[in-house]
Amino acid sequence: MKEEQTGNETFQPVIPATEYPAEITWKAIILGAIISVLFGVANAYLGLKFGMTVSASIPAAVISMAVLRLLFKNVTILENNIVQTIGSAGESLAAGIIFTIPAFFIWSSNKELVASGYIYEVTKLHIFWLSILGGSLGILLMIPLRRYLVQREHGKLAFPEGTACAEIIVAGDEGGSKAKLVFTGIGVGALYKVGMNMFKGWAESVNHNFSGVLKGGTIGIDATPALLGVGFIIGPRIAALMMGGAVLGYLGIGPLLMFIGQQIPDVVISPGTIPLADMDPGQLRNFYIKYLGVGAVALGGFVSLIKSMPVILSSFKQGFGELIGKKTSTGEVPRTDRDISMKWVLLGVTIIVIAIWLLPGTELHFLGATLAVLFGFFFVVVSARIVGIVGSSSNPVSGMTIATLLVTCLILVYFGVSGTAGMITAMSVGTIVCIAVCMSGDIAQDLKTGYLLGATPAKQQVTEFIGLLAPALAMGVTIYYLNDVFGFVEGATSRQPLLAPQANVMATIVQGVMNANLPWAPIIVGAMIALAVELLGISSLPFAIGLYLPLSLSSPIMAGGLLVLAIRKFSSKKEYKERSERGILFSSGLVAGDALIGVAVAFMIGLSDPYMFLHDLLASLMPLYLGPWFGWLSLLMFTGLVALMGHLAWHGLGKEKK
């Protein structure tokens, strides 16, 4: 049995390369496509309303095991893997679409912009082609990176959701104590989420804004099972780097801005619209700290690309060797190391470039096509590495898209492309890059799952295109329907609008650059902060992610990392390995349970007005019942969840049969 040397450890997948179980089957393709469409539509609504999407990889894996084992007798691990590979693509495509496409509708609803000459309507067909082109670009550009990010960096990059999916699929197949731990985690995560989100038993997010010396600073926690589980999976070092960025931003820079504002109480500093002294920590983030994070993520991504470049070039060199018929290795390539041939990758990218260039109605042309592919390649590398570090849920896609839009707008202005044409071109480039980034992060997690299970990479890469096509057909109809029913700006319809927070930011930025009023200073300062961190010999990317994201997202991840640290400190080497494995199994279940209920809530919100009434009623009444203890109850529940995770990691579910 062939074993693969990775770093300092020998890795053996669940299914060895010498075995050839069924992978791509009709039942896997059909079920995966259905899941992909359903999760894509649900996440489109959820993201447009709340600015967040729910990871679909783990729910898809759980649903796959349940459905396939119910309907069929013989189901392989790798068939379940194909279902989750296809099924998770819908959520990723939805994220790429909702962060950008609504900007076109927002501009069309802007009376002043229309009066100044903006006339453009993005069609359902344009949305479909932008989805296909951006998604295909992300998939193809990720293929030559697999050996480096997934294989050679095994043991260094955690890929939390990908690892969790593998654990769940294996545990479901093996049964026994491992399966019990995973499904216990799913049950606990689901019950916790139901009590918190559906019945409003306690607050999801608890925050405290400081006064006095630290006025302008804030601490808080999004007390969710998923983020706690991610923290345990990625470990204390990465969690601490993220927390370091958050501490600098929200306990350092925030109070400093407030101190400056108090010295000039009546002065409005762009891009803010009110004086600094009158802002709360949330406004300080939106107007200033967020732009620091954008600059830091951009530079951290650039450094990551430079570090990855030798292996990227090696992968391309090997691919070109295949292309010209030159032998690059001796012997047959193992099944678990076979990717789509480089000639097909290059042909596909070439076709995409031409298609972007010729795509009518988007004002892209040759310059836009070139920018889309260049930024696509850059941020695909960045995104794939970020999800390897902190997982898809914390992937700052909007930050990378903002960076793309900033540079694209500047280049377009330099070449004389401005006005309506410039705005359309910039947003079209941003849409393609955003979708590519989202899809690359998804396929990176999927390929990690496949790597752990022993799947054939080429087969996963092929089925990613199926997972892209199915929701792409539905996405244009979904966006138009939501715009017609709710609208994306106040007053667009008689109902409460879906405010599409990321798309509103993107629309504002493009207009800001075209009107020469974008705040470059904080973006450049953020890049310098990341550079300083790199010069200290520390990876700046997780630090930059912590600076960009709210502190409340880093703190539950840190809690999971600290739990791992405590278990490591008080365990022998053998005990730590066993306890860490049990903790990862339970953590994987927590992430799955949280995500499953999140998707269920999204469906009920979209399909049920009575649910919305109950949801709003409970949301308004529970704080009245609990008064000032509402937030403390949330902290108590989260502490109980941490304690339960520690107990199960330490002791398991009781005595296990040897």
Between 136 and 152, whose confidence is greater?
136
CA angle 326, 332, 334 (to 5 degrees): 120
- Smallest CA-to-CA distance from 399 within 285, 281, 567 is with 285
Is residue 317 included in any domain, yes or no?
Answer: yes
Contact yes or no for 371/417 (Cβ under 8 A): no
Number of domains in the chain: 1
Between 125 and 148, whose confidence is greater?
125
Between 609 and 548, whose confidence is greater?
548
Q: What's the pLDDT at 617?
A: 62
Percent of the chain with pLDDT over 90: 18
Q: pTM of the prediction?
A: 0.71
Q: What's the pLDDT at 568?
A: 93
Q: What's the pLDDT at 619?
A: 60
Taking phi first (over 0 means left), then psi (-120 to 50 degrees means alpha), and beta for anything else, what does residue 117 get?
Answer: left
pLDDT digits (tens, 9 = 90+) for 290-306: 889 878 877 887 777 67
Q: What's the pLDDT at 240?
A: 93
Paired tokens of 410: 């500047």
Residues 373-398 have a mean pLDDT of 75
Residues 170-190 have a mean pLDDT of 78
Alpha carbons 606 and 603: distance in angstroms, whole number: 5
Half-sphere exposure of 238 (CA within 13 A, CB side): 24
Is residue 658 included in any domain, yes or no?
Answer: no
Residues 174-195 have a mean pLDDT of 81
- Smallest CA-to-CA distance from 594 within 287, 279, 229 is with 229
Is residue 156 included in any domain, yes or no?
Answer: yes
Identity at 623, one-letter amino acid code: P
Cβ-based neighbour number of residue 624 at 10 Å: 8
Q: What's the pLDDT at 176?
A: 61
pLDDT digits (tens, 9 = 90+) for 314-343: 655 655 565 555 554 545 778 888 888 888
Q: Per-residue confidence at 567, pLDDT binned at 50, 70, 90?
A: very high
pLDDT digits (tens, 9 = 90+) for 573-606: 888 888 988 888 788 788 778 767 766 765 665 5
pLDDT digits (tens, 9 = 90+) for 464-473: 999 999 899 9
Is residue 92 included in any domain, yes or no?
Answer: yes
Is residue 15 included in any domain, yes or no?
Answer: yes
Write down the H helix ranges in 155-235.
160-174, 176-193, 225-234
DSSP character for 270?
T
Q: What's the pLDDT at 8?
A: 40
| Residue 580 structural domain | 4-651
Contact yes or no for 234/561 (Cβ under 8 A): yes
Instruction: List b or e across 288-311, with b for residues whose CB sees 16 or more CB atoms inside 10 angstroms.
Output: bbbbbbbbbbbbbbbbbbeebeeb
CA angle 202, 208, 213 (to 5 degrees): 170
Identity at 130, one-letter amino acid code: L
Which residues neighbour 459 within 8 Å (Cβ) at sequence distance 6 or greater? 23, 24, 82
Is residue 300 included in any domain, yes or no?
Answer: yes
Is residue 656 included in any domain, yes or no?
Answer: no
The CA–CA distances, whole Å, from 146 to 10, 340, 613 equal: 18, 11, 47
Is residue 657 included in any domain, yes or no?
Answer: no
Q: Per-residue confidence at 68, pLDDT binned at 50, 70, 90?
A: confident
Across 12-162, where does the E strand assignment appear? none
Residues 179-199 have a mean pLDDT of 83
Alpha carbons 31 and 39: distance in angstroms, whole number: 12
Paired tokens of 196: 């918190």
Q: Per-residue confidence at 658, pLDDT binned at 50, 70, 90?
A: very low
Between 544 and 621, whose confidence is greater?
544
- Phi, psi (rounded to 5 degrees) for 400: -70, -35
Alpha carbons 545 and 220: distance in angstroms, whole number: 17
Question: What mean pLDDT is reported for the chain?
Answer: 80
DSSP character for 330?
S
